[in-house]
Amino acid sequence: MSAGWNTIESDAGVFTYLINNLGVKDVQFEELVSLDATFLRQRGPVYGVIFLFKYPTGEARHETPLDGTFDYEAAENRFFAAQTIQNACGTQALLSVLLNKEDSIDIGPKLQEFKDFTGAFPADLRGEALSNSELIRNVHNSFARASPFADEAQRLATEEEDVYHFIAYTAINGRLYELDGLQAAPISHGSCEAEEFADKVIPVLQRRIERYPAQEIRFNLMAMVRDLRIRAREIGDQDWLYQEEQKRNAWQWENALRRHNFIGFTGEILKGVVGSKLGEGGKKYSEWVGDAEAKTKKRFDERRKVGGEADENAL
């Protein structure tokens, strides 16, 4: 088992440029803020959706799925990889869609080579091959947030921590599949042609979310779609095209910030401010520190007061 996979965010800009850097052409991700089949269809063609949810660590493993049925034949003749390493499930979910859509998506020579190489492997060996792919691991890690304090690749989650997991849904050869590397095989949710995907996947997602308590809201859903700039150009909508280009620029800026470690920069700013106050002489520095401490205490007291009032109202 390979090590060295860092945590990445569930973010449309991260996922779009991640697959772009793997060689995929004309595909992007769009965050879905509601389970609305009409909204999803409007982003079409939709190749699949990526669903992030809190993983029920205390739940016993089931021999059969809670929804749908295992399709063991699909595990052999479709791209399905067992998850063999932590932190890789986001990228694995993306690949579970991409490597089953090479008839409609240009996945590029590197991913095509990887799929051809692993085509005859069972699911567990495909998972090992994925986790040991230097290309995929390096691209994945290039989108992790820089952290000078912790090595995410080596840190294991404790029982007290919330654990989150990515899975994929996509239509393959007339059936709707749930692709989860922690399951024994792809889970079939019945017949589904590509043009029916939006209408068929939404009820499946709704049933999945309904398993959780009503107050649980920590979900994230993203659609893998054709580059929306292509559609904007096709219909001649310059305003839409401009908005999409601006969105790409923002994604690139945010991805650049993720790679940068700001600890040194912050330290230099702090040293400059402190030096400036000390240079003013007299009691300026101590007054500045005292004022900051007083403001901080005031904010804590206000928060404590609000929290106390909320508790009293709850009672």
Active site residues: 89, 165
Residue for token digits 């389970």?
A: 35
Give how far the C-alpha of residue 133 lies from the chain's centroid of Cα atoms, to the nearest Å.
20
Give how far the C-alpha of residue 246 lies from the chain's centroid of Cα atoms, to the nearest Å.
21
The first and second tokens of residue 104, run together, are: 């409609």
Please give the backbone phi and psi of residue 245, each rounded to the nearest 5 degrees, phi first: -65, -40
Distance (Å, whole) CA 39 – CA 37: 6
Residue for token digits 């769009």?
A: 30
Provide the H-helix boundaries in the chain: 12-21, 37-42, 72-77, 89-98, 108-118, 123-131, 134-141, 197-209, 228-235, 238-259, 263-279, 284-314
Amino acid at residue number 105: I
